[in-house]
A and B are shown apart, each in its own frame.
Chain A
Amino acid sequence: MGVFVFLPLVLPLSAWPVARLAETRLHPRTATRLLTAVAVVMAVCSTLCLALLMVVGTAQLPGNPLPDGWSDPEVRAAVPHDEVAGRAAIPALAVVTAACARTLWRHRRVTRRARRALAGVPAPTVAVLPDDTPYAYALPGGRGRGRIVVTTALVAGLTSAERRALFAHERAHLTARHHRHLLAAHLAARANPFLRPLRTAVVYTAERWADEEAARAVGDRRTVARAIGKAALLAPRTPVPTVAALAATGPVPRRVAALLAPAPAARTWPSAFTSVGLAAWGAAAGALVSAMSSANSAVTLFLVLQAATPL
């Protein structure tokens, strides 16, 4: 398998250009789906290769439970720098597993606690809670039982048309099951830190997707833009400017600006002759090479280990 086993660990870098360009140049629905798919494929391949390295590394440890033949020179020759890579992979895989488990656990806990908080509120879909803090959330629920939570403070700050935009936005989150994309992107970013830009991009494009759906439902892009802008101005300010905020304008002004611009074309796949098309194809190729490398490594290691195992 040679150097192929290391490729999926660094190939997520090939998705960075598309993570940047897809936000502005692709339809948000296409962008969300493309970026999530790329992130998931790359995360799975990267974790698989980490596991393969971990097996080779574990076989070298004294007193390991694996067959003795697995530490033979033939097996070790399959991995370049097996001493370092094999041993480094053991803690790395442990960290990845723990981080992913933690993310999943938190996800379930927040969902459960939120659902419990709303227990007893009679309204079927939209729960308007009396609260001075303006917020709105789409709370995912199985079998079309998702709920929308908004506070009176937010509803009071919007006109009726803007409220319709707000509810259409949240409903779009529920209908399109955006929380699945978000969870997948968060897990992928935990599996390989190089995938973090993709997570940021998916968080943004999912919001843009819901914005576009809201604009279609309300029939006026400017109303949606005003609803977002007003809601953001009602919300409490962040006390300390973050590094990202210093670098460029944050996601909210970009969403508003995108809504004030004409609707994006709903092309399914960009042409390869534009910069975003090139980046998208690059990411797809990266994901493909990633998949092929990890498959190649897995099969090779399987055959090598099978040959090394005394029967």
Chain B
Amino acid sequence: MAREDGRARRRGQGELEGQVLGALREADGPVTAAWVQQRLGGDLAYTTVVTILTRLLAKDVVSRERHGRSFVWTPTADVARLAALRMRRLLDGERDREAVLASFVTALPPGDEQVLRALLDIPGPDAGGTEG
């Protein structure tokens, strides 16, 4: 993680979440927050690591269980799943995201569905039922 040190202060929330989850996935079994902190190179405060782990718990990508006086953490999803969750949150939240993200297809109005099926000879779910 040496190359990350230069821009440690500029790392955003999302990047930290990804790193913490990545570290958890490299562990052999359930590990403590202190282990994660050490694994990440020690430039993060212990409380920050715990905060991020709690946030990941709320997103349902890690689980924890009590072990003595502290918790041990286990990843339940991979980094791609976390990215998918974050991407979904972005897409659901931004109304005019179309200006940035050119979508492969736009949502299809009902009338277009029949036109499209006819163009491509794809039978519809109600094929034969109605006369379009």
Contacts and interface: CB of A to CB of B under 8 A. Distances in A.
B68 to A, nearest CB: 30
A111 interface: yes
B120 A128 contact: no
A120 B101 contact: no
B57 interface: no
Interface in B74-124: 79-84, 86-91, 94, 96-113, 115-117, 119-120, 122
B58 to A, nearest CB: 16
Nearest to B117: A233
Given A110-B97, A245-B112, A231 B105 contact: yes
A238 B102 contact: no
A137 B104 contact: yes
Interface string A252-264: 1100110010000
A122 to B, nearest CB: 7
Main secondary structure of the interface of A (DSSP, over half): helix
A206 B80 contact: no
A153 to B, nearest CB: 10
A139 B119 CA distance: 30
Interface stretch (A1-9, A44-52, A222-230, A279-287): A222-230
Contacts of A182: 99-100, 102
Interface string B21-47: 110000000000000000000000000
Contacts of B17: 120
Contact of A226 (B15, B79, B112, B120): B120
B53 to A, nearest CB: 15
Given A117-B87, A120-B15, A135-B91, A127 B101 contact: no
A229 B100 contact: no
A225 B118 CA distance: 12
Nearest to B105: A232
Interface magnitude class on chain A: 35 or more
A249 B81 CA distance: 36
Given A179-B100, A233-B108, A245-B111, A127 B80 contact: yes
A116 B122 contact: no
A236 B108 CA distance: 8
A173 B104 CA distance: 10
B110 A235 contact: no
Contacts of B91: 135
A232 B99 contact: no
A113 B101 CA distance: 12
Nearest to B22: A120
A129 B84 contact: yes
A131 B108 contact: no
B87 A118 contact: yes
10 contacts: A110-B94, A118-B83, A183-B100, A206-B102, A228-B105, A232-B108, A232-B112, A237-B108, A241-B109, A250-B106
Interface of B: 12-15, 17-19, 21-22, 79-84, 86-91, 94, 96-113, 115-117, 119-120, 122
